[in-house]
């Protein structure tokens, strides 16, 4: 993964952002629950 970040100006910050994104994604999952879409149609 480090090889992909060689050209980034803010490599460490970018790495932290991506790692935290995946922590949230793995905890919450993707998209909305079905209930959100059901409430939107009302």
pLDDT computed for residue 22 by the predictor: 94
Buried/exposed code over 17-35 (b: 16+ C-beta within 10 A; e: otherwise): eeeeeeeeeeeeeeeeeee
Encode pLDDT of 1-42 as tens digits. Answer: 555 656 778 889 989 999 999 998 888 887 766 776 676 655
Can you give the pLDDT at residue 4? 61
Q: What is the pLDDT of residue 40?
A: 61
């Amino acid at each position: 993964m480090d090889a992909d970040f060689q050209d980034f100006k803010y490599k460490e910050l970018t790495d932290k952002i991506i790692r935290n994104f995946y922590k949230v994604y793995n905890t919450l999952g993707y998209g909305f629950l079905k209930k959100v879409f059901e409430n939107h149609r009302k």
